[in-house]
Amino acid sequence: MAAYLKSRNPAVRTVLADPPGSALYEYIRSGVPRVTGSGSITEGIGIGRVTANMQDAPIDEALHVTDDEAVQWVYRLLREEGLFVSSTSGVNVAAAVRVARQLGPGHVVVTVLCDSGAKYLSRLFNREWLAQKGLLEAAEAGAAA
Domain residue spans in the chain? 2-144
Q: Mean pLDDT across the stretch 15-35?
A: 84
Per residue in 59-95, pLDDT (tens digit) is: 999 999 999 999 999 999 999 999 999 999 999 999 9
Q: What are the C-alpha distances in Å from 67 to residues 12, 21, 44, 87, 142?
A: 27, 11, 14, 8, 13
Residue 1 has pLDDT above 70, yes or no: yes
Element spanning 15, H or E: strand 15-18
pLDDT of residue 51: 78
90-110 burial, b at 16+ Cβ within 10 Å, e below that, comes to bbbbbbbbbbeeeeeeeeeee
Q: Chain-wide mean pLDDT for the chain?
A: 89
CATH 3.40.50.1100 fits 2-144, yes or no: yes
Name 61's bridge partners: 15
Q: 57 in helix, strand or coil?
A: coil
